[in-house]
Amino acid sequence: MRLRTTLAILRKDLALGPRSPLVAWALVMPVLMTLLVHGVFGSLFDARPRVGVVDPGGSELAAALLDLPELDSRIVPDEATLELLVERHDLDAGLVIDVGFDEALRAGDRPALPLFVSGESLASNRVIVSVTTLDLIRSVEGRSAPVTVEVVTTGDAQDLSMVERLVPLLVLMAMLVSGVFVTSFSLVEERERRTLEALLVTPASLTDVLVAKATLGLVLAVAMGTVTLALNGALTGSPAGLLVSLLVGATMAVMIGLVYGVISSDARSLYTLFKSLNIILIGPVVFYLFPEWPQWIAKLFPTYWFLDPIVAVTTRGSTLSDVAPDLLVALAICAALAVLVGALGRRLGGPSVQA
């Protein structure tokens, strides 16, 4: 492999990439899928509990609720409207503060405080609204809270919202489209246009071509995986663990793309491969959607070994050392795929394949 030749091929692909519908789809798809998922299952730009307040008497409690950054609070004109908004899940919860509520509270009375809760709201949001309201009531009453409530999230993926469970799917699809699809289609396109043959009669070897295609897919896969995590508010956790996990995942994706591209003689046969084998690639995400299923089955899918480290780093607080064993398995799969690409490439390019 000659670095200068590989870079020249890569520059050519980068120059032509923006004109490719597939590259454009790889760039746009994560954004569209994120908008769709959040439009159906949640709020994209604000995951705070949404609270409505009916306050005809100008209560201090209402003012305090509206000022809290932890809540997305707003005033609702009347109780009937509030009940309708909560029933339609336009609000997670709603409070009705009667006239004279503050005065009755300070006088030692126990005034009623109707609280409407949406049946579709998250349990965590209900806890936040309840605890926050009780704390503010004590403040209006002139007393401090007798305890400090610390909310600690425990349990497994069964406690995650549907949006959070779908994030692994979004990340995996972004990386597969960029790594597998772009890499394989780019190679097949060279073969269909016979530009691959023209390249191979130059000093460029098939290895130079494959490395250039893989590099483009690798950069796109890492970039779009990162963008997808950022769009979903999941760009968190150990930076080293996340970066290495994304790099390993992108490497596996482009290796699979090279296998697809070398095997396929044209776009039709490549589409057939996608239809036949892609269930193996996206299989692990089903076990994030249904965490009550036996999780060991997910380990039978190759993409699990880089996807789970990404999920572990971003949602479970894992570090690079925690996910290293899984990443080593993923790297072993990448090495096996590289050997397969080399064997298939010798048939494709004959003596032009060089180490």
pLDDT digits (tens, 9 = 90+) for 202-231: 777 778 888 888 998 999 999 999 999 998
pLDDT above 70: percentage of residues in the chain: 81
75: DSSP letter: E
Q: Would the pLDDT of 353 be above 60?
A: no
Q: How far apart are CA 50 and CA 117, in angstroms?
A: 10
Question: HSE on the CB side for 286, CA within 13 Å?
Answer: 13
Confidence bin at 34 (pLDDT 50/70/90): confident
Domain-wise residue ranges, the chain: 3-41+161-352, 50-141
pLDDT for 156 equals 46
pLDDT digits (tens, 9 = 90+) for 284-343: 999 888 888 888 999 999 999 999 999 999 988 899 999 999 999 999 999 999 999 988
Instruction: Give the mean model confidence (pLDDT) for residues 110-115.
Output: 86
The architecture of the domain spanning 50-141 is 3-Layer(aba) Sandwich (3.40)
DSSP 298-348: GGGSTTHHHHHHHHHHHHS---HHHHHHHHHHHHHHHHHHHHHHHHHHHHH
Task: Phi first, then psi: give them for residue 33, nearest 5 degrees.
Answer: -65, -40
pLDDT digits (tens, 9 = 90+) for 45-68: 456 788 999 999 889 888 988 888
Residues paired with residue 54 on neighbouring β-strands, in sequence order: 96
Q: How far apart are CA 160 and CA 353, in angstroms?
A: 48
pLDDT digits (tens, 9 = 90+) for 160-183: 666 778 889 999 999 999 999 999
Listed in sequence order, the residues at least 6 apart from 86 whose beta carbon sits closer than 8 Å to its beta carbon are 52, 92, 93, 94, 116, 117, 118
Q: How far apart are CA 65 and CA 59, in angstroms?
A: 10
